[in-house]
Amino acid sequence: MKKAVLALSLALAGSSLLGGASASTTSVAQTPVSIDFWTFYLAPKFDGYINGVIADFQKAHPDIKVNYIDKQGTLEQELITNISLGTSPDVVNLWVESTQKAADSGLLTDMGALVPYAKTLYYPNSLSNFMVGGKLYGLPWYASFNAGVMAYNNDLIKKAGLKTLPKTTAQMVAFAKTIKDKTGAYGWAPAIKDPQGGSFLGVFAGEGLPLLNGNTAAFNSPAHAKLLQTYIDLYKADYIPQDLLRKEAFQLSQELYTQGKLATIIGGPQALNRVRDNNKAIYAASMITDAPVGAGRTQAGGGMDLVIPKAAKHPKEALMFAQFMTNRLNQVAFAKIVPIVPTAAGSNLDPAFAKLKASKDPIEKATGMIAANGPSLKTAIPPLKNATDLFKAFDDNIEAAFLGRKTAQAALNDAADAWNKLLK
Amino acid sequence: MNVKSLRSALSSYVFLLPALVLLVVFTLYPVLYGSYLGFTEYTATNFATNQPPKWVGLDNFRTLANDDLFKTGVLNSLKYLLVVPALQLASLAVAVLVNRQLPFIAFFRAAYYVPVITSISLAAVMWDWIYNKDGTLNWLLKGLHLMNPNSNESWLLDPNTAFWAIMFVTFWKGFGYYMVLYMAGLQTIPEELEEAARLDGATPWHVFWRITVPLMQPTILLCSLLSTLSAIRVLEEVLVFTNGTGGPLNSTYTALLYVYKKSFGGLDFNYGLASAAGLVVAAIALILSVLNFRYFREGSARA
């Protein structure tokens, strides 16, 4: 019964919001309510933007007060604690993997009744990131590409005598070797074992190789092993940094590129913020181009969403706010102040992004380029149950292969065995 | 018991009461409840559905017995105990050395204590530079011809060295703390005893082993107990140096990291299993504490 009431209220909230401007300015709250909105690592830098959106929302809905609270590294733990204490927030900013885990554990409100409308509001790829078992558990807010654009240090490219830039990951392998041989700097820092787990699966997906065949692991074919061996060879010959085995590729890329020890930095424009702040000379020598893609021709990335915990005290008002926060106008406005990829349908058509794309400034140009690529953004690894254990088993074997303890094929076979047991 | 002594006893308990309340609320209750959880199924789903923990008997312990990662963690935690004797011997020896009036001795005492107050994250950044393949340690070893100049290994990436490299940071961080405790203990030894021994012709070595060490047994017991418990519960160092992965090849994965990952690793937590693992760690710590007491008390009695 409760579920039916919730579904009905969600549907009503959804239709009232989607029905037009007049609906959006009418609050459904009968008595004043206060909702708690948790963000992840956004304060204090984006307080101005977020408080502005909240003010707009409160103006349209005078009966709803939004309390904005930014959480940082302990967001997940605090969410669990607050749910257990009966003080759950109403709207929470999570990411793909955490939404999947929280949905699996039954912590989130199923926004299923909204699906028919949501498909028109957000890019389908972005929306599918937050669908688990056909149910929608989060509204896409903003996203980032793993390999959206490639910034390159033009001084190092010239020093290496290179005339062309790599367009594919296969060309990137040759590029990395030339850069290292000619300049001593690394050419490439691909994600091979990021601490958050399973990143080499992204390499397979990028090359169009399958990860799963139904409920069975499919990443141990000879083609997969050959690809893994290519990376192992690069690692052993010191053509890619050793620390990729224990540090996040994004973080390590920023560190090395800023120090002039890496020729390319692949990712979103946000990767260049630190370079601009810490090494003006390298930032000035930086140029932007499309990131190399694998044979799969996909652009992988991660996404952030807004979820509503089941324990939220005001789910109806929470849903209204989550939709307002993630609507096209607000996402585009956010993308104009920080280089994120808006996920609301039609965001890519905003003329501001075309203007940015033509800019000479690396961050502005990259921002324009990725914003226009939003519709193609796709998460490399599909939502998985038992993701923590699956990624641990996979990463342990990948590490064993890189450290020479197992052959590439044996490591993938062992990982596949572990997955097949866990996926049963 | 007369009224006066009853009143005296009561007033003593009144003074003890605030501390007892705090002890019950923040120590006794969490320990008992945590122990109970070890025998229950208590996951995120329980939270979501508002279901209380479900009694499952020894199921969690069976899961742990079949979990290779937990077994690796326990073995590594036990191996980590090797830091205890090294830490105790070194800090006691240095405490003896700095417990005298020498020029700049205050500087040396402070210098040894600096690592204790250095945050683990700052220490991690610093040791990361030292252990890196292009870091200070490799540079030094290559300069001294103690390492192959073509060797290109980071100490934290080799499964054979990562564990010891992290353990050394524990040693470095704990050293000053135990040194201060030992210095406090040394102040309690009457100077006449050592003076008399020296007059009888005892060498400094004899004075150290026959007078200082036996009289320091209570302090040694305290320090040994504290460092044993810290070693078996090691977590911070492993978390910061391996980004929580326990790598390379789980060579630095400890029992408490397992507890941490199962309880706070994400939104798919399993408090029941984590509590059971915590109980196993607590049982090991208890056994080690008893052994410490037995060994050092007997030693003290012999002295």
- What is the predicted pLDDT for the residue at A196? 79
pLDDT digits (tens, 9 = 90+) for A232-265: 999 999 999 999 998 889 889 999 999 999 999 9
- Spell B169-203 as b/e; 16+ CB within 10 A means b: bbbbbbbbbbbbbbbebbeebeeeebeebeeeebe
Contacts of A307 in chain B (CB under 8 A): none
Residue A291, pLDDT > 50, answer yes
Contact present, A306 and A344 (Cβ < 8 Å): no
Confidence band for A414, pLDDT divided at 50, 70 and 90: very high
Which ipTM value was assigned to this complex?
0.83
Residue A19, pLDDT > 50, answer no
Chain B residue nearest residue A82, CA to CA: B47
- Spell B148-165 as b/e; 16+ CB within 10 A means b: eeeeeebbbbbbebbbbb
- What is the predicted pLDDT for the residue at A5? 37
Residue A21, pLDDT > 60, answer no
Cβ-nearest to B264 among A77, A105, A195: A77
Chain B residue nearest residue A99, CA to CA: B267
- What is the predicted pLDDT for the residue at A28? 53
Confidence band for A18, pLDDT divided at 50, 70 and 90: very low
pLDDT digits (tens, 9 = 90+) for B176-213: 999 999 999 998 888 888 888 888 888 888 888 888 88
CA atoms within a 13 Å half-sphere pointing along the CA-CB vector of A361: 13
Query: How buried is residue A322: exposed, middle or buried, by Cβ count under 10 Å (0-12/13-18/19+)?
Result: buried
3-state DSSP assignment of residue A297 = coil
Pairwise CA distance, residues A46 & A108, whole Å: 26
- What is the predicted pLDDT for the residue at A403? 94
- What is the predicted pLDDT for the residue at A11? 38
Chain A residue nearest residue B128, CA to CA: A243
Cβ-nearest to A195 among B154, B157, B244: B244
Best mutation site among A108, A193, A396 for testing chain B: the one with the most B CBs within 10 Å?
A: A396
Best mutation site among B243, B268, B271, B273 for testing chain A: the one with the most A CBs within 10 Å?
A: B268
Contacts of B269 in chain A (CB under 8 A): 80
What is the sign of the dihedral through the CA atoms of A241, A253, A392 and A420? Answer: negative
pLDDT digits (tens, 9 = 90+) for B247-297: 899 999 999 999 999 998 888 889 999 999 999 999 999 999 999 888 877
Contacts of A392 in chain B (CB under 8 A): 69
Q: What residues 65-94 of chain A have any CB closer than 8 A to a CB of chain B? A: 76-77, 79-80, 83-84
What is the sign of the dihedral through the CA atoms of B213, B216, B222 and B223? Answer: negative
Average pLDDT over residues A65-84: 91
Contacts of B244 in chain A (CB under 8 A): 195
What is the end-to-end Cα distance of chain B in Å, rounded?
A: 40
Structure tokens of B192? 């006449």
Q: Which of these ranges, A15-29, A108-122, B272-286, has the smallest mean pLDDT?
A: A15-29
Pairwise CA distance, residues A95 & A304, whole Å: 4
Pairwise CA distance, residues A75 & B270, whole Å: 17
Residue A15 CA to chain centroid, in angstroms?
Answer: 29
Average pLDDT over residues A355-360: 90
Residue A67's H or E segment, with its range, is: strand A64-71
Cβ-nearest to A98 among B48, B152, B267: B267
Distances (CA, A) of A366 to A287, A288, A299, A380, B47: 9, 6, 15, 21, 43
Q: Dihedral (C-alpha) B45, B50, B55, B60: value to the nearest 10 degrees?
A: 30
Helices A315-325 and A2-18 meet at what angle, rounded to 10? 30
Max CA-CA distance within chain A?
A: 70
Contact A243 B132 (CB under 8 A): yes
Angle, vertex CA A15, rays to CA A11 and CA A20, nearest 5: 165
A184 part of contact set with chain B, CB < 8 Å: no
The rounded mean pLDDT for chain B is: 90
- Spell A332-357 as b/e; 16+ CB within 10 A means b: bbbbbeebbbbbbbbbbebeebeebb
Helices (H), A25-65: 47-60
Contact A105 B48 (CB under 8 A): yes
DSSP state of B52: P
Q: Which of these ranges, A8-22, A274-288, B45-59, B196-210, has the smallest mean pLDDT?
A: A8-22
The rounded mean pLDDT for chain A is: 88
Residue B50: partners with Cβ closer than 8 Å, 6 or more residues away? none
Average pLDDT over residues A119-123: 90
For the stretch A319-322, contacts whose Cβ atoms lie closer than 8 Å and that sit 24 or more positions apart, written own/partner, are A319/A10, A319/A13, A319/A14, A319/A109, A319/A111, A319/A114, A320/A13, A320/A16, A320/A17, A320/A27, A320/A28, A320/A61, A320/A64, A321/A35, A321/A37, A321/A57, A321/A64, A321/A66, A321/A90, A321/A91, A322/A91, A322/A139
Average pLDDT over residues A171-197: 94
Confidence band for A134, pLDDT divided at 50, 70 and 90: confident
Q: Return the residue matching tokens 């017995």.
A: B65
Pairwise CA distance, residues A125 & A140, whole Å: 10
Which residues in B have their CB inside 8 Å of a CB on A?
Answer: 43-45, 47-49, 69, 132-133, 152-154, 156-157, 159, 242-245, 247-250, 261, 264-269
Residue A160, pLDDT > 70, answer yes
Confidence band for A105, pLDDT divided at 50, 70 and 90: confident
Single pTM value for the model? 0.85
What backbone torsions phi and psi does residue A100 show, to the nearest 5 degrees? -60, -50
Contact present, A154 and A268 (Cβ < 8 Å): no
Contact present, A262 and A155 (Cβ < 8 Å): no
Contacts of A235 in chain B (CB under 8 A): none
Residue A3, pLDDT > 50, answer no
CA-atom Rg of chain A in angstroms: 22
Residue B61 CA to chain centroid, in angstroms?
Answer: 24
- What is the predicted pLDDT for the residue at B42? 94
Q: Which of these ranges, A346-355, A368-377, B35-44, B219-228, has the smallest mean pLDDT?
A: A368-377
Q: Give the start-end residues of each E strand in A218-333.
A: 264-267, 286-290, 299-307
Query: Closest Cα of chain B to A304: distance in Å?
Result: 16
pLDDT digits (tens, 9 = 90+) for B203-257: 888 888 888 888 888 899 999 999 999 999 999 999 999 888 888 999 999 999 9
Q: Return the residue matching tokens 């209570």.
A: B218
Overall size of chain B counted in residues: 303
pLDDT digits (tens, 9 = 90+) for B111-148: 989 999 999 989 999 999 999 988 999 999 999 998 88
Average pLDDT over residues A113-132: 84
DSSP state of B51: P
- What is the predicted pLDDT for the residue at A7? 39
Contact present, B249 and A403 (Cβ < 8 Å): yes
Best mutation site among A72, A80, A384, A389 for testing chain B: the one with the most B CBs within 10 Å?
A: A80
Max CA-CA distance within chain B?
A: 84
Residue A281: partners with Cβ closer than 8 Å, 6 or more residues away? none
Contacts of B69 in chain A (CB under 8 A): 392
Which of A414, A359, A330 is CA-nearest to residue A24?
Answer: A330
Best mutation site among B45, B47, B129 for testing chain A: the one with the most A CBs within 10 Å?
A: B47
Contact B247 A392 (CB under 8 A): no
Average pLDDT over residues B39-67: 92
